[in-house]
Amino acid sequence: MPFSVDFLPAEKLVCVTNAGILSLSDYQRGAEQAVALMDKQAVWRCLIDNRELNNQVSVSDIFKLPTFFTHIGLPRTVRAAILISDATPKREDHEFFETVCVNKGYGFRLFTNRDEAPAWLTS
């Protein structure tokens, strides 16, 4: 599986780790699992680790993801930190994803520092 979804009890957040090449359906399944786990744990903070991701999802599909999030019940009160590295391919796709999510009312933010992301999530 190109993604994993885990609860990090010490940080009180859900972590989605994406690696390799993900399809749109992979993103959607990961989002569904993350929403279910956040709901179960009653924490609406999520770290999305895309440092090892080689994004191949089209810009038009990226644009549609926030609508999918609404469909699966992701509340607009969620905070999600998207972690990428300086070497992450197609950085502009991650920046576009952040912008689209923010414009649709979701609290998503892009980070390149692993320590800053959870700090922002819990602030």
Q: Which residues contact 90 (CB under 8 A, 6 or more apart)?
A: 54, 55
Q: Could you report the per-residue pLDDT of 69-112, keeping only the tens digit for each?
A: 999 999 999 999 999 998 888 889 999 999 999 999 999 999 99
Instruction: Give domain limits for the chain.
Output: 3-121
Round to whole Å and give the CA distance between 90 and 50. 11
Give start and end residues of each alpha helix (H) in 11-58: 24-41
Q: How far is the C-alpha of 122 from the C-alpha of 47, rounded, in Å?
A: 11
CATH, range 3-121: 3.30.750.24
Beta strands 3-8 and 13-20 are antiparallel
What pLDDT score was predicted for residue 1? 60
- pTM exceeds 0.85: yes
C-alpha to C-alpha distances, 5 to 48, 49, 57, 90, nearest whole angstrom: 9, 10, 19, 23
Q: What is the pLDDT of residues 27-73, one digit of tens each?
A: 999 999 999 999 999 999 999 999 999 888 999 999 999 999 999 99
